[in-house]
Amino acid sequence: MIAPLLDLPAALAEAVGAYEASGNVGALMERLHHLRDGAMPDAIVSAAEVWLHMPEVTGPLYEKVVAEQPTNTRALVILANAYWLSGRGPDVVGELANRALALDPENRAAWHLWALTEANQRDRTVRWLQVTQRFSDDLLAKAALADNAASLAAAEHDKEALALAIATYEDLWNHSPTAQQRAALETALATLRKYEF
């Protein structure tokens, strides 16, 4: 007799439900490894879509996808993001981001992960600047640039970083859709404009 095909979405839902009820990460990992080992990468991608917000679920599943589809840029980015959110560290995440960028230099999420993984504050600020230059409409990257430049200015009394932070926050203010966002940016700008080195 032929064994019935596994209903992967239902099995994943059951595994996640059990994990949410028990908090037992070890049992979740054991179940996810068993499920992924018996599934094709495309089936994993389809079934995992609803769990992308849970890195503890996405990571183990996408490890198999990336292993079997090493040129799948989206899978590389999803795995890198899952690793980042679960604290796997900048080296492994940066390596995945670099692989994704080599395959698709226009992948914005890969650029974000690449910038995030730089440990040096000054170099991370430069990376975010590069991302904003490549994607001029990327407000999230501009916010990261402004925050990193402001931190660099405060830590190293760097006038150029301060000017960059102010200019970037001003640009964000110009593109802010709500009064609440503009008020928060005005507070940040007021603080930065008082800096004296």
DSSP letters of 114-127?
Answer: HHHT--SHHHHHHH
d(CA 106, CA 197): 39
Amino acid 196: pLDDT: 84
Amino acid 6: pLDDT: 67
Note the pTM of the prediction, 2 decimals.
0.89
CB count within 10 Å of CB 105 equals: 10
Supply 87's token pair: 């604290």
Domain ranges of the chain: 8-51, 70-117, 120-197
Distances (CA, A) of 42 to 54, 59, 72, 150, 158: 19, 15, 11, 43, 49
Residue 33 predicted with pLDDT over 50: yes
C-beta separation of 21 from 56 below 8 A: no
d(CA 37, CA 114): 29
Give the mean pLDDT of the chain: 95
Amino acid 134: pLDDT: 97
Amino acid 4: pLDDT: 41
The answer to which of 1-15, 27-41, 108-122, 162-176 has the lowest mean pLDDT is 1-15
d(CA 127, CA 35): 38
d(CA 122, CA 164): 12
CB count within 10 Å of CB 48 equals: 26
The string of pLDDT tens digits covering residues 158-194 is: 999 999 999 999 999 999 999 999 999 999 999 999 9
**pLDDT band with cut points at 50, 70 and 90 for residue 2:** very low
Residue-wise over 67-100: b if at least 16 C-beta within 10 A, else e? Answer: eebeebbbbbbbbbbbbbeeebebeebbebbbbb
Helix (H, G, I), strand (E, B) or coil at 78: helix
Cα-to-chain-centroid distance, residue 62: 15
Amino acid 197: pLDDT: 77
C-beta separation of 162 from 149 below 8 A: yes
Find tokens 């993001």 and name the residue: 81
The string of pLDDT tens digits covering residues 105-145 is: 999 999 999 999 999 999 999 999 999 999 999 999 999 99
